[in-house]
Structure 1
Amino acid sequence: MTTAMEQTYQPLLEKADVIARTISSSEAAQMYWQARDKMMKHREAQALFDELKKKTNGLLVLKGRLGEESEKYQRIQEEVHKVEDKLTEIPVALQYKAAHDELNGMLQEVILVLLARLKGEVPVEKGPRQCGSGGSCSSGDCGSCSAH
């Protein structure tokens, strides 16, 4: 038995499903998965990518503990930049980054359109800035990073 609330949400959820299917079958999504497959098969790129994740996670911990001005933070940040530079020399890594950025941009645009349409109609609060929306992450999972 469905409640009145569930009946109210059902049309919205169905429309959300249509949007999700449209995005997942888009050319941008197909390009992302193709680029990701190539990236996963490239051992050097994958090793650098894994190293980048580790160093970035360590950098985030150091930032919280010691601050951005600490010598150790600055040293690790320089190491992160070196790994990013190495990744930019690998074509499959650049293709992966471009495809990831394109897909992430599409998702961000859909979210921004929804927020813009709701503004003034319902109380909408912006959440914390996340990677992919202008945040600063190099962990490799967010899509806003310059090296993947």
Structure 2
Amino acid sequence: MSRDALLRKADEIARMIGCSDAAARFWQARAKMENNRRAQQLFETLKLKTNNSLGLQAVFPADHPRVRELDAEIAKLEHELYEIPVAMQYKEAQAELNELMQGVVQLLLNRLSDRVPVERGPRLGCGQGPNGTGCTCGERD
């Protein structure tokens, strides 16, 4: 099968996912979420604080007071957000759609692994060297 034929199949699968019941539920839930000002505010604040937490965790240990304080704020926001029904619908619809897409990718990886070498996850270094742990030639250091 040619590369173009494979890409056409991939495009067809993408369109099928886009037209799936899971995608329809996601877009309906997202529209409801966008019409709920309080849910939007909480969601945006949650995203900001989550990103801040990830930044802090890169600098401080998990038990650092600033990290713990921010994590407590995040937990409070999540609790408040998930008390709003449209937010829960959005979360569930998003999870369902993600699960569908991950299932398609996982199926491809599983089917291919018997026929071609498949790397699962990020590569370390350049992929050369002992046990694929990185380049030992010094050119990529």
Out of 43, 54, 59, the residue aligned to residue 60 of structure 1 is 54
Out of 68, 75, 90, the residue aligned to residue 84 of structure 2 is 90
Give CA deviations for 1:56-93 in whole Å, capped at 9, x if unaligned. Answer: 00000000011212110011001000000001100000
The separation in 2 between residues aligned to 1:65 and 1:94, in whole angstroms, is 32
In the other structure, the counterpart of 2:40 is: 46
| Ranges of 4+ aligned residues in structure 1 off by more than 4 Å | none
Which amino acid is the alignment partner of residue 99 of structure 1?
A
CA-based RMSD of the aligned residues comes to: 1.1
The separation in 2 between residues aligned to 1:120 and 1:17, in whole angstroms, is 24
Alignment of 1:95-106 (within 5 A): 95-106=89-100
- The higher-RCO structure (CA 8 Å, 6+ apart) is 1
Out of 108, 121, 142, the residue aligned to residue 102 of structure 2 is 108
> Which of structures 1 and 2 has the bigger CA Rg?
2
The alignment of Structure 1 onto Structure 2 pairs a total of residues equal to 122
In the other structure, the counterpart of 1:23 is: 17
Matched residues, percent identical?
A: 48
The separation in 2 between residues aligned to 1:63 and 1:8, in whole angstroms, is 46
Which amino acid is the alignment partner of residue 28 of structure 2?
Q
TM-score by length of 2: 0.84
Which amino acid is the alignment partner of residue 49 of structure 2?
K
In the other structure, the counterpart of 1:120 is: 114
In the other structure, the counterpart of 1:78 is: 72
Give ranges in structure 2 of 5+ residues lacking alignment: 123-141
1:20 counterpart SS class? helix
The separation in 2 between residues aligned to 1:114 and 1:85, in whole angstroms, is 36
How far apart are residue 106 of structure 1 and its match? 0.2
TM-score by length of 1: 0.80
2:15 counterpart SS class? helix
How far apart are residue 47 of structure 1 and its match? 0.2
The separation in 2 between residues aligned to 1:83 and 1:115, in whole angstroms, is 37
Which amino acid is the alignment partner of residue 46 of structure 2?
L
